[in-house]
């Protein structure tokens, strides 16, 4: 039997995502009520610019006083889609203090202060859900937190930023340079006017921190994630990748060490074989590859951003939290019992593709090979091309620690026959 008294919802933010959340809650109110077991009523929307035209958003719900809204004692759930650290953090903790559960899409805040927010939610007996913070419409947080709760996840490898994937896909498919591909992404609305958070990997790093924490039941903060952007990727890198039967993606990689005693979390461009499922992810789509001990290999694919996809994830969390409210219960909170340390990037072991500009003369290859051997980095393949006294030398290594590879590159730079290091690219997904 359905409860007649509605569950009351406050919305913080009414931009692209917030407007779509409002539209769905309004147009699908009856369906939501049936799924929850009670009516779900949107009772207030906090915004910074009240005079802005918002089609389909009831004007009587608009307020500029977000603090007063979350302090109302009758609010059951607060939906936060304003982003950033403050005032979002204060508003969320205030909502907890006044008995409201929170649904958030705020990856930056969760990556930085997730442990404190989970602690505050637990203290006040409410929920904190954030499916929309990681991969838009793709169900990922809940499968990791609930469906795979009885399994042991060893690796999470994914494309979690649609803007960078669109740019790299264009560079791969059309031969465009980075700037040209970025201009196209901006014109189509895939890239912001300031794309730094996307192309420099900050967005993906925040998502990697969240995913690693959930997957490995430990606390991983944004500062723990190694981050490298993709602005230095060139058409030449793609040409080299194609010669190896690979393409290039900006990847978020979270791994449990082989001995199980530590984890790593990193974001950087990498070559992946065309045979790997992530290689076929095109345009602005996202995909995450999960490797678990019992379940094996799982792949989650779909639109990772945009108003409608993100709103879909928000509404999924809203339904779940509302059901918990009716049951006078809470869902899964933070699971950090393993307390595994996060290893530095220098300890990460992977393969590398290194392109060197060298003198075209006898003995150069032997000198380069000696440097690799002296630093304990084994060479898999070498390709050399030369003309008019100059040459390029492409070395692909076997798996080696990042610190060993870095020391190798520094030693190579000191060789008189090495004119420069054109590029260094990690090789993943094998």
Catalytic residues: 207
**Contact 32/319 with Cβ under 8 angstroms?**
yes
Pull the structure tokens for residue 44: 């207030």
**Residues 81, 318: Cα–Cα separation, whole Å:** 13
**Residues 188, 197: Cα–Cα separation, whole Å:** 18
**Contact 359/144 with Cβ under 8 angstroms?**
no
**Residues 160, 208: Cα–Cα separation, whole Å:** 8
Only one residue has tokens 């890239």, namely 191
Beta bridge partners of 302: 286
Cα angle 152-157-163, degrees, rounded to a multiple of 5 = 145
Assign residue 362 a region (left: φ > 0; alpha: ψ between -120 and 50; beta: otherwise): beta
Q: How far from the centroid of its chain's Cα atoms is residue 101's Cα?
A: 24
Only one residue has tokens 């290594």, namely 397
Residues in the chain: 430
């Amino acid at each position: 039997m359905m409860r007649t008294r509605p569950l009351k919802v406050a919305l913080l933010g009414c931009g692209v995502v917030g407007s779509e959340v409002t539209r769905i809650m309004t147009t699908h109110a009856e369906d939501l009520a049936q799924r929850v077991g009670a009516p779900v009523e949107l009772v207030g929307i906090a915004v910074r610019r009240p005079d802005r035209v918002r089609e389909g958003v009831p004007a009587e719900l608009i307020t500029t006083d977000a603090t007063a809204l979350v302090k109302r004692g009758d609010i059951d759930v607060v939906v936060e889609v304003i982003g950033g650290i403050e005032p979002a953090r204060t508003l969320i903790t205030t909502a907890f203090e006044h008995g409201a559960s929170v649904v958030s899409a705020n990856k930056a805040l969760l990556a930085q202060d997730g442990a404190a927010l989970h602690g505050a939610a637990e203290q006040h007996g409410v929920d904190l859900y954030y499916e929309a913070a990681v991969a838009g419409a793709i169900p990922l947080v809940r499968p990791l937190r609930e469906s795979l709760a009885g399994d042991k996840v060893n690796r999470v490898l994914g494309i979690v930023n649609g803007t960078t994937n669109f740019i790299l896909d264009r560079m791969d498919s059309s031969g465009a340079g980075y700037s040209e591909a970025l201009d196209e992404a901006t014109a189509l609305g895939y890239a912001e006017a300031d794309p730094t958070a996307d192309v420099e990997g900050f967005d993906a790093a925040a998502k990697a921190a969240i995913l690693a924490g959930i997957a490995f039941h430990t606390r991983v903060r944004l500062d723990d994630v190694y981050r490298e952007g993709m602005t230095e990727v060139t058409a030449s890198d793609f040409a080299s990748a194609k010669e190896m039967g690979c393409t290039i993606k900006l990847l978020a990689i979270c791994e449990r060490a082989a001995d199980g005693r530590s984890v790593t979390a990193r974001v950087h461009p990498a070559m992946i074989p065309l045979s790997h499922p992530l290689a076929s992810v095109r345009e602005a789509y996202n995909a995450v590859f999960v490797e678990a001990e019992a379940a094996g290999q799982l792949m989650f694919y779909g639109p990772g951003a945009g108003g409608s996809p993100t709103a879909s994830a928000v509404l999924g969390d809203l339904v779940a939290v509302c059901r918990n409210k009716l049951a006078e219960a809470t869902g899964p909170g933070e699971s950090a019992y393993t307390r595994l340390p996060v290893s530095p990037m220098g300890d990460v072991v992977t393969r590398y593709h290194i392109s060197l500009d060298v003198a075209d003369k006898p003995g150069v290859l032997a000198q380069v090979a000696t440097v690799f051997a002296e630093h304990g980095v084994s060479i898999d393949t070498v390709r050399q091309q030369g003309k008019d006294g100059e040459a390029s030398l492409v070395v692909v290594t076997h798996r080696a620690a990042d610190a060993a590879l870095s020391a190798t590159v520094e030693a190579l730079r000191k060789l008189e026959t090495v004119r420069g290091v054109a590029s260094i690219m990690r090789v993943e997904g094998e």
